Amino acid sequence: MSLSLFLVQLVNGVEYGLLLFLVASGLTLVFGVLGVLNFAHGSFYMLGAYLAWWLSARTGSLLLGVLIGVPAMVLIGLVVERLAIARLYSRDHLSQVLLTYGLVLLFNELQSVLWGNDVHGVNTPAALSWTMRLGETQTWPAWRAFTSFACICIAIAMRQVVLKTRFGMRVRAGASNAEMVEALGIDVRRLFSTLFAAGTALAGLAGMLAAPLTTVYPGMGENVLILSFVVVVIGGIGSIKGAFFGALLVGLADTFGKVLLPGFASAMVYAVMAAILLWRPRGLLGAAAEGR
């Protein structure tokens, strides 16, 4: 592989990884703090993308679409949390898997009814429709650079919130011991709602950012969801840092896999996951197994 090709794939892999991070971070937090396995998370990514398309088609501006869409996703997250997720807090895994699976089916039908089953393209905002030159032969579309930049900013912001704010402290406490947090009198309901809504918005935002790149189509959330699960498994449940590095790893594995082994590209990521699990059964950065 030539150096320039390698660099291009490296950039692609990192971009993809960063988008995956947005999605996976919400998933890992919801699971780490709320204790809920949420299969519908991929649906939020899809909803975000569809909202971005629909709003940008109506208003002519993707940026406006994002500005309206993100609060909309927050609202959707709050509603879903109150109506469905809250009932899963003390339930077993099977119930969580099946209820959220039901939500996936529901959201898919919703998407089909509201927006139909065609594939839709989304135009990048005019301001970001140019491309940058990288070296002699390669170019980098501005929108993709912007997307990656946005993801990095969000990652940094998340780190600041989690490490430096009181809210973040509650999140970290909740991730290690939710019962204790409640016993300390902290309004756990509000914490959970906020966290879930934030996770939903992040997934939705990822969908909006990705929409111009991948087009908007039914079932687009599915693959992202599964890969997010892989990221969470690799990075460890409840760990944002783990999600970050796991996402980069997955993004790179997927991208390089497609180039090196076209027939087995999709399977490659899962092979990496299997390898990591053999080495570290709790994920790279998950809580080290106590004793056994």
Partner 1 sequence: MRRQVLLLAAAVALAAVAFSGDRFWLQFLGKAMIGCILAIGLDLLVGFTGMVSLAHSAFFGLAAYALALLTNRLGLVSPLVTLPLCIAFAAAAALVIGWLSLRATGVYFIMVTLAFTQMLFFLFNDSPALGGSDGLYVQARPVNSRLAAYVVIWVALIAVYLLLSRVLRAPYGRVLEGIRGNEQRMRSLGYPTRRYKLVAFVIAGATAGVAGYLDATLYGFVNPAQLGWRQSGLILVTVLLGGKGTLYGPAFGALLLAFIEHYGEQVTEHWNALIAALVIAVVLFLPRGLAGLLHGNPRG
Partner 2 sequence: MAEALIETEGLTRRFGALAAVNGVSLAFEKGRVHAVIGPNGAGKSTFLNLLSGELRATSGRVLLGGEDVTRASPDRLSRLGVGRAYQTANLFPDLSCGDCVWLAAQSRLPSSMLFFRPADRYPQVGVRAARALEACGLSQRRSAIAGQLSYGEQRQLEIAMVLATEPSLLLLDEPLAGLGHDEALRIVALMREVAKGRTVILVEHDMDAVFSISDSVTVLVDGRVLVTGAPEEIRRSAAVRDAYLGGEVV
* Token code pair at residue 225: 């969801």
Q: Which of residues 96-125 bind partner 1 (CB under 8 A)?
A: 97-99, 101-106, 108-110, 112-113
Cβ distance to partner 2 smaller for residue 8 or 285: 285
Binding residues among 271-290 for partner 2 as defined by CB under 8 A: 290
The answer to whether 288 contacts partner 1 (rule: CB under 8 A) is: no
Coil, strand or helix: which one is 140? Answer: strand
Q: Give the start-end residues of each E strand in the chain.
A: 131-134, 138-141
- Short-list 283, 282, 275, 234, CA closest to 17: 234
Residue 144, both tokens? 């993709």
Question: What six digits make up the tokens of 138?
Answer: 């390669």
Selection from partner 1, partner 2, none that 290 binds (CB < 5 to 8 A by kind) is: partner 2
Q: What is the DSSP letter of 120?
A: B
In this structure, which amino acid lies at residue 122? Answer: V
Instruction: Outline where 60-139 has alpha helix (H).
Output: 62-83, 93-115
Contacting partner 1 within 199-228 (CB under 8 A) = 226
> Does residue 229 interact with partner 1 by CB under 8 A?
yes
Token pair recorded at residue 35:
């204790």
By CB under 8 A, how many residues form the interface with partner 2? 3
DSSP 88: G
Residue number with CB closer to partner 1 (136 or 290): 290
Please give the residue ranges that form the binding site for partner 2 (CB under 8 A): 290-292
Please give the residue ranges that form the binding site for partner 1 (CB under 8 A): 31, 37, 84, 87, 91, 93-95, 97-99, 101-106, 108-110, 112-113, 226, 229-230, 232-233, 237, 263-267, 270-271, 273-274, 277-278, 281-283, 286, 292
